[in-house]
């Protein structure tokens, strides 16, 4: 689509994907078809029967055997393009040995909807200046259990343009509630009802994954415009997009240039990670960023922000 130079640029890219459920599995599939150089994929969960309606590449045998989602994603990517270096990380983004695997990538996709994952990923983005897009799909219910809204969220989080904290998308009370692992899992329930089996939202996930991956692609080849980096909500019932006004707190501890901020200080930033025993990582930490031209393309956008 973009010629030899564009394809070569994608081959030099290293991309991180946090969460390999419906949205994350689709992102991995699209990244594989685009032909990126490396994918670091993170998830601690296994495939379950009710996941099969949305996880690309998962089978009923995977659900019966409790196969890890990272293994399903590895298998999917290898089938599409065996030249891609795929690093499966079976773990939680809030653990240091897992978070460190993202600090050398060129781009991050966040495809979970817990406050904990948002908090940690947002910190990595702004301390290490790595662009990210968070996606999510949600069905809101009224008290009568009737559907009130069905929507998809696509939230680019680029250095210099505010962060998830500034946008009010990281609730400190929810962060505290999610300290228990079971609470984190419940937070990813599409309907928000603990006893309800999640409906098929593969069409919603497909919209979010495609918009997010396209945003990365346009950025990588230098065609992205400023409006592409706006936070947007897609109303699936009406087929309309709502663009949200960006927010940037001049005193934010993560994304502002104020004194004491952790913006751009790299490994010197104290990330909001769990106090767990350090585990050996399954692979060496990715090489420092800068190998691809993506950051040069994005630098022009940052200056115009």
| DSSP 8-state class, residue 246 | P
| Residue from 266, 226, 20 nearest 130 by CA | 266
* CA 267 to chain CA mean position, Å: 21
- How much is the pLDDT for 242? 96
Calculate ∠ Cα 67-90-164, nearest 5°.
120
DSSP 154-185: EEEE-TTS--TTTTT---HHHHHHTTSHHHHH
Distance CA 214, CA 75 (A): 23
- How much is the pLDDT for 196? 47
Distance CA 45, CA 32 (A): 22
Burial class (CB in 10 A: 0-12, 13-18, 19+), 185: middle
- How much is the pLDDT for 293? 58
Q: What are the pLDDT tens digits along the chain (305 aa)?
A: 455 567 888 999 999 999 999 999 999 999 999 999 999 999 999 999 988 999 999 999 999 999 999 999 999 999 999 999 999 999 999 999 999 999 999 999 999 979 999 999 999 999 999 999 999 998 888 888 888 899 999 999 998 888 999 999 998 888 888 865 555 555 555 555 544 445 558 999 999 999 999 999 999 888 999 899 999 999 999 999 999 987 889 899 999 988 889 999 998 888 998 865 444 444 444 444 344 556 555 555 554 44
- How much is the pLDDT for 191? 52
Q: What is the pTM of this model?
A: 0.86
- How much is the pLDDT for 80? 98
DSSP 90-127: -S-TTSHHHHGGGTT-SEEEE----HHHHHHHHHHHHH
- How much is the pLDDT for 277? 45
Query: 109 pairs with which residues across the strands?
Result: 17, 133
Distance CA 186, CA 293 (A): 39
Distance CA 44, CA 174 (A): 20
């Amino acid at each position: 689509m973009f010629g030899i130079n564009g394809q070569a640029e994608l081959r030099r890219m290293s991309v991180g994907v946090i969460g390999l459920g419906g949205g994350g599995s689709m992102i991995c599939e699209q990244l594989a078809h685009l032909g990126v150089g490396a994918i670091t994929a993170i998830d601690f969960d296994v495939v379950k029967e009710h996941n099969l309606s949305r996880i690309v590449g998962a089978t009923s045998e995977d659900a019966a055997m409790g196969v890890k989602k990272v293994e399903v994603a590895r298998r999917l990517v290898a089938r599409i393009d065996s030249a891609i270096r795929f690093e499966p990380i079976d773990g939680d983004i809030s653990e240091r040995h897992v978070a460190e695997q993202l600090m050398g990538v060129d781009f991050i996709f966040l495809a979970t909807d817990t406050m904990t994952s948002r908090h940690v990923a947002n910190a990595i983005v702004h301390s290490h200046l790595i662009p990210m897009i968070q996606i999510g799909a949600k069905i809101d219910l009224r008290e009568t259990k009737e559907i009130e809204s069905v929507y998809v969220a696509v939230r680019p989080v680029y250095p210099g343009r505010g962060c998830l904290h500034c946008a009010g998308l990281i609730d400190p009370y929810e962060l505290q509630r999610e300290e228990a692992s079971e609470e984190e899992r419940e937070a990813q329930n599409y309907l928000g009802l603990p006893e309800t089996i999640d409906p098929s939202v593969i069409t919603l996930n497909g919209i979010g994954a495609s918009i997010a991956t396209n945003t990365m692609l346009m950025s990588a080849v230098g065609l992205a415009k400023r409006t592409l980096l706006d936070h947007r909500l897609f109303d699936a019932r009406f087929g309309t997009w709502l663009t949200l006004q960006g927010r940037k707190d001049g005193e934010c501890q993560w994304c502002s240039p104020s004194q004491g901020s952790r913006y751009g200080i790299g490994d010197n930033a104290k990330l909001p990670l769990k106090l767990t025993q350090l585990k050996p990582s399954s692979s060496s930490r990715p090489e420092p960023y800068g190998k691809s031209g993506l950051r040069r393309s994005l630098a022009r956008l940052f200056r115009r922000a």
